[in-house]
């Protein structure tokens, strides 16, 4: 590292500090390292999930520092390969310059944000790192980077958590910011109520003057039969977006699959950034459990944590549920250390609840799959071969084989008298698709929880 390179990098960090909120600096910048500068190209060591943020937000910082120190245009190149002799620096620079805030002249809003959710207590893993990075980026510069931010993923994977964490992070710096967390379902209900009580204008006003709208489970908006609800949401969206007010949406599926939602709304959802959350892998499950047991007044054997991580793989809510079961037992029995035996005993009822023990009928499966894909059960059982119907039919057959004990011929019979080889073909086809298609995997997880 030459002296000039060192100067350059210190300047980059300093400028980045001025530019960014503390949380964004800590997350995106603090562990970046300059490896070298060759031919006016700065090679920077950085986790891939943070690279996009640099490309979009810190180009000017690199340019400025480059001209100041070298008098030429410095471009940057990112790598996530460990440099042979890693070089790290003491950070320099003064603390962050506080942003001057305009005093709000409107009445404060009840944000409905749950302060138990933060970025700090959201454990990062392969399946959620992009979503977390995008959420932090949005929280540090609302309305400017990704608008809207659309987060989708199966149930219990942390969407509501991230949504609230964004709100809490923004409120840290701007306690008076007009932020509102609301589920799509509550939005619908509030809207209907405002019509009944003649307070439609007030409702309109209260949403259109927000700085940040965090709207959860937008897929439920599709179930509202009233066109006026979507119309109202559409207008709110447009007003906020055109005023550069941040909108974050979550959903259990990608925008394209939002049945019952108007096309013009769905199109807008994809204007900003769409990121997914997929189920936690084993390491992440262990990390989440380890994190969540920290504050409990008793210990866990490492074996127990690994056991639990193996028992519940589909989502984080199940992991938390298991810890709650164990907590009851541990407190009741005054346990010091939770062994695998204690854990197994505590979660037995929960495991018995699990799908294989439940009697799930093919009818249930057909109904839920149909609902999800916007296809009728009749269509699933019939022979029509449009793309939607074929997918729904094959998914239903796949789930019938996976979730019930019925034989292939029996399943075939329940699908309008088809041959067992048709069922097997559908099963193999979906299985292959699942291996390659994360979206489909999320869709199936969602449908499965509905069936259970």
Q: Contact residues for Mg ion (CB under 5 A)?
A: 159-160
User: What residue number has its CB nearest to ligand ADP?
Assistant: 158
Is 278 within any annotated ligand binding site? Answer: no
Q: How many CB atoms lie within 10 A of CB 238?
A: 13
Are 272 and 237 in contact by the 8 Å Cβ rule? The answer is: no
Site residues for ligand ADP, 58-117, by CB under 6 A, read 117
Site residues for ligand ADP, 161-220, by CB under 6 A, read 161
Residues in binding contact with ligand ADP, number by CB under 6 A: 17
Distance CA 138, CA 142 (A): 5
Maximum C-alpha span of the chain = 78
Alpha helices in 20-158 (DSSP H): 22-24, 48-57, 59-70, 129-140
Is 156 within any annotated ligand binding site? Answer: yes
Are 4 and 62 in contact by the 8 Å Cβ rule? The answer is: no
Is 272 within any annotated ligand binding site? Answer: no
Q: Residue 374 has which token pair?
A: 């916007």
Residue 360 Cβ vs ligand ADP, minimum distance, rounded to whole Å: 21
Q: Which is nearer to ligand ADP, 16 or 151 (CB)?
A: 151
Per CB under 6 A, does 285 bind ligand ADP? no
Which one of ligand ADP, Mg ion, none is in contact with 316 (Cβ closer than 5 to 8 A by kind)? ligand ADP
Estimate the crossing angle of helix 420-436 against helix 438-451, to 10 degrees: 120
Per CB under 6 A, does 128 bind ligand ADP? yes
Per CB under 6 A, does 279 bind ligand ADP? no
Distance CA 166, CA 147 (A): 13
Per CB under 6 A, does 301 bind ligand ADP? no
Strands 41-45 and 33-38: antiparallel
Contact map string, positions 136 to 155, toward ligand ADP, x by CB under 6 A: -----------------x-x
Among 65, 109, 113, 123, binds ligand ADP (CB under 6 A): 123
Estimate the crossing angle of helix 200-208 against helix 184-196, to 10 degrees: 140
In the chain, DSSP finds a helix count (H) and a strand count (E) of 21, 10
| Helix H or strand E encompassing 249 | strand 246-251
Q: Which is nearer to ligand ADP, 125 or 370 (CB)?
A: 125
Per CB under 6 A, does 222 bind ligand ADP? no
Which one of Mg ion, ligand ADP, none is in contact with 173 (Cβ closer than 5 to 8 A by kind)? none
Is 160 within any annotated ligand binding site? Answer: yes
Q: Residue 57 has which token pair?
A: 């937000």
Per CB under 6 A, does 158 bind ligand ADP? yes
Residue 280 Cβ vs ligand ADP, minimum distance, rounded to whole Å: 7
Distance CA 445, CA 315 (A): 9
Distance CA 445, CA 100 (A): 45
Q: Which is nearer to ligand ADP, 145 or 163 (CB)?
A: 163
Among 208, 317, 351, 441, binds ligand ADP (CB under 6 A): 317
Q: How many CB atoms lie within 10 A of CB 303?
A: 12
Estimate the crossing angle of helix 420-436 against helix 387-403, to 10 degrees: 100
Which one of ligand ADP, Mg ion, none is in contact with 320 (Cβ closer than 5 to 8 A by kind)? ligand ADP
User: What residue number has its CB nearest to Mg ion?
Assistant: 160
Residues of the shown chain interacting with ligand ADP in the complex, contacts defined by CB under 6 A: 117, 121-123, 128, 153, 155-161, 288, 316-317, 320
The binding site for ATP comprises: 156, 158-160
């Amino acid at each position: 590292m030459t002296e000039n390179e060192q100067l350059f990098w210190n300047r980059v960090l300093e400028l980045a500090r001025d530019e960014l909120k503390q949380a964004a600096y800590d997350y995106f910048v603090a562990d970046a390292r300059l490896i070298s500068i060759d031919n006016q190209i700065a090679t920077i060591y950085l986790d891939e999930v943070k690279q996009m943020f640099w490309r979009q937000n810190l180009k000017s910082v690199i340019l400025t520092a480059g001209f100041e120190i070298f008098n030429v245009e410095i471009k940057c190149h990112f790598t996530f390969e460990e440099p042979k002799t890693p070089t790290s620096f003491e950070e320099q620079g003064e603390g962050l310059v506080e942003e001057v805030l305009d005093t709000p002249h409107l009445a404060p809003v009840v944000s409905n944000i749950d302060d138990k959710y933060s970025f700090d207590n959201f454990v990062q893993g392969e399946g959620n790192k992009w979503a977390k990075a995008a959420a932090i980026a949005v929280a540090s510069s609302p309305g400017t980077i990704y608008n809207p931010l659309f987060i989708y993923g199966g149930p219990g994977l942390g969407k509501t958590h991230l949504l609230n964490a964004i709100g809490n992070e923004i409120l840290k710096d701007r306690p008076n910011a007009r932020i509102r967390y609301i589920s799509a379902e509550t939005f619908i209900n509030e809207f209907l109520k405002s019509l009944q009580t003649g307070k439609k204008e007030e409702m309109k006003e209260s949403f259109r003057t927000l700085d940040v709208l965090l709207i959860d489970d937008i897929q439920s908006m599709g179930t509202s039969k009233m066109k006026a609800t979507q119309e109202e949401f559409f207008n709110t969206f447009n007003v906020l977006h055109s005023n550069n007010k941040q909108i974050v949406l979550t959903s259990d599926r990608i925008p394209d699959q939002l049945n019952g939602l108007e096309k013009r709304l769905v199109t807008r959802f994809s204007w900003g950034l769409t990121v997914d959350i997929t189920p936690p892998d084993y390491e992440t499950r262990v990390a989440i459990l380890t994190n969540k047991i920290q504050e409990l007044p008793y210990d866990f054997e490492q074996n127990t944590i690994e056991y639990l991580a193996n028992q519940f793989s589909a989502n984080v809510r199940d992991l938390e549920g298991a810890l709650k079961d164990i907590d009851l037992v541990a407190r009741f029995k005054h346990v010091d250390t939770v062994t695998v035996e204690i854990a197994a005993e505590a979660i037995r009822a929960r495991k018995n609840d699990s799908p294989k023990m439940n009697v799930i009928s093919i009818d249930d499966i057909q109904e839920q799959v149909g609902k999800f894909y916007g296809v009728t059960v009749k269509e699933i059982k019939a022979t029509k071969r449009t793309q939607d119907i074929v997918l729904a039919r094959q998914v239903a057959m796949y789930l019938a084989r996976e979730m019930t004990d019925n034989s292939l011929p029996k399943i075939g019979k329940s699908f309008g008298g088809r041959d067992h080889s048709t069922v097997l073909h559908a099963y193999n086809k979906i299985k292959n698709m699942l291996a390659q298609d994360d979206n489909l995997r999320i869709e199936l997880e969602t449908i499965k929880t509905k069936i259970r």
